């Protein structure tokens, strides 16, 4: 009787019936995110789309009865060792190195300490507590590699970005990814039981650049929170809340301010538009929502200085990173989102903006050709010539109805990318990894 009551309260999980040959999903996943916490504000430091990805995916996995424990590095003192992010989702803070002052490039030296913290947490549980390890980004992959071997469970890894791909398309003045990262990524690709790629193109890059096994590479498109990112009460209401002119043309940049994301391309395009048609100066507001990150931290005010040199400082409105609900309002308020990135594994921001009914002008790189339907929900630009972006923006200015026409198509397109779909596909990948891992354990030479 007492056991029955404890199950009702959730302290003892109910028994799970198994049948011969049944494909079993994992009960509990250890998810690793070394360099950025899912509790951090996206758009600050190294926090960005990956944070959103981990939070939303973990919540949806928990909703289909896969518990998730997310291990991340503690970056401030006094944090609780474990924080419940949502029912079935626990964030564990691991002490590894000083809380502050470490850049992402400094973190490889802290991987041993981080791994020790993960192992300590595991040691407090009964054998078999975790069924699978899911690591995000190459740093986490190295911890996951060791943990999965020690726990005798499969490793599923998501790269999110790849050094070889980034180095092949560097922005002017940007810093190449170091050889140590290339070596580390290559090792993780070989060690993983399954790799999750955001798009077919990313899967191809894993095979081409890292010799990944195509049979162990699954494509799972990231999702979008369709409850948060939706047209809502419309563009005019969002502009009123944000203090934007109701009739202005508003090209928006939202993301981390660094050369990789190329916000300077938008500013240079706006400079060209104003030079060609000075009357636009009184009809345009250019919000830049986000904070310096990565190599952009070396010159945190470079974008403001560029706006001044271009003579458009009066048009550009710099906005610090905002929460997801506020970000949805910025998307609704914009005439168009501009994403001139040099590299994007998917471009989650593009889907979020489209879900609110806002078209996108983006570089035709990485996953953006999947995120944006060229000519229907926005325009894809080959290369990073500001003149090409200016021409695309001019099409919206010359045809005011195009914003609403493409915005309606964009909202419909974005509805295909719900997180529930992504979670189910990820769970299927977990199941396949478990099945293959069990076969390999049973027949190590087979």
Q: Annotated binding residues for Mg(2+), as ranges?
A: 331-332, 334, 358
Name the maximum alpha-carbon separation found in the chain.
80
Which residues are part of a known binding site for UDP-N-acetyl-alpha-D-glucosamine? Answer: 41-42, 49, 256, 261, 322, 344, 352
Which residues are part of a known binding site for 1D-myo-inositol 3-phosphate? Answer: 35, 46-51, 104, 137, 161, 181
Which residues are part of a known binding site? Answer: 35, 41-42, 46-51, 104, 137, 161, 181, 256, 261, 322, 331-332, 334, 344, 352, 358
Task: Please report how many Cα atoms fall inside a 13 Å half-sphere around the Cα of residue 412, on the Cβ side.
Answer: 10
Specify burial of residue 124 (Cβ count, 10 A radius: 0-12, 13-18, 19+): exposed
Angle CA 388–389–394, to nearest 5: 100
Selection from 428, 400, 440 nearest residue 219 by Cα:
428
């Amino acid at each position: 009787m007492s056991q029955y009551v404890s199950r009702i309260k959730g302290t003892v999980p109910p028994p799970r019936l198994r049948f011969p040959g049944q494909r079993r999903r994992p009960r509990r996943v250890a998810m690793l995110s070394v360099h950025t916490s899912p509790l951090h504000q996206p758009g600050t430091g190294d926090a960005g789309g990956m944070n959103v990805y981990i939070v939303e995916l973990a919540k949806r996995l928990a909703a289909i009865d896969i518990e998730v424990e997310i291990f991340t590095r503690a970056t401030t003192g006094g944090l609780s060792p474990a924080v419940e992010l949502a029912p079935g989702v626990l964030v564990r803070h691991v002490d590894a190195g000083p809380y502050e002052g470490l850049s992402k490039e400094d973190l490889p030296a802290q991987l041993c300490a981080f791994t020790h913290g993960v192992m300590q947490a595991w040691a407090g549980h009964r054998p078999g507590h975790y069924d699978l390890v899911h690591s995000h980004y190459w740093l986490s992959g190295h911890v996951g590699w060791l943990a999965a071997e020690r726990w005798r469970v499969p490793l599923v890894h998501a790269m999110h970005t790849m050094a070889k791909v980034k180095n092949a398309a560097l922005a002017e003045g940007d810093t190449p990814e170091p050889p140590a990262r290339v070596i580390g990524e290559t090792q993780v690709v070989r060690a993983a039981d399954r790799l999750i790629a955001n798009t077919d193109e990313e899967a191809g890059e894993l095979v081409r650049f890292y010799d990944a096994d195509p049979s162990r590479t699954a494509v799972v498109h990231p999702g979008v929170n369709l409850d948060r990112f939706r047209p809502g009460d419309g563009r005019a209401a969002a502009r009123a809340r944000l203090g934007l002119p109701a009739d202005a043309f508003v090209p928006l940049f939202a993301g981390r301010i660094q050369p990789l994301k190329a916000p300077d391309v938008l500013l240079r395009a706006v400079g060209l538009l104003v030079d060609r048609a000075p009357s636009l100066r009184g009809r345009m507001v250019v919000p830049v929502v986000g904070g310096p990150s990565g190599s952009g931290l070396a010159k945190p005010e470079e974008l403001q200085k560029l706006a001044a040199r271009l003579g458009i400082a009066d048009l550009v409105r710099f906005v610090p990173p905002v929460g997801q609900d506020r970000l949805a309002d910025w998307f609704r308020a914009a005439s168009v989102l501009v994403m001139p990135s040099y590299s994007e594994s998917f471009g989650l921001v593009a889907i979020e903006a489209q879900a609110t009914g806002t078209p996108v002008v983006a570089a035709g790189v990485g996953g953006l050709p999947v995120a944006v339907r060229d000519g229907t929900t926005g325009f894809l630009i080959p290369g990073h010539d500001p003149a090409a972006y200016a021409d695309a923006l001019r099409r919206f200015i010359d045809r005011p109805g195009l914003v609403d026409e493409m915005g309606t198509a964009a909202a419909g397109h974005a509805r295909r990318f719900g997180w529930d779909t992504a979670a189910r596909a990820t769970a299927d990948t977990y199941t396949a990894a478990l099945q293959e891992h069990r076969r390999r354990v049973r027949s190590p030479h087979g």
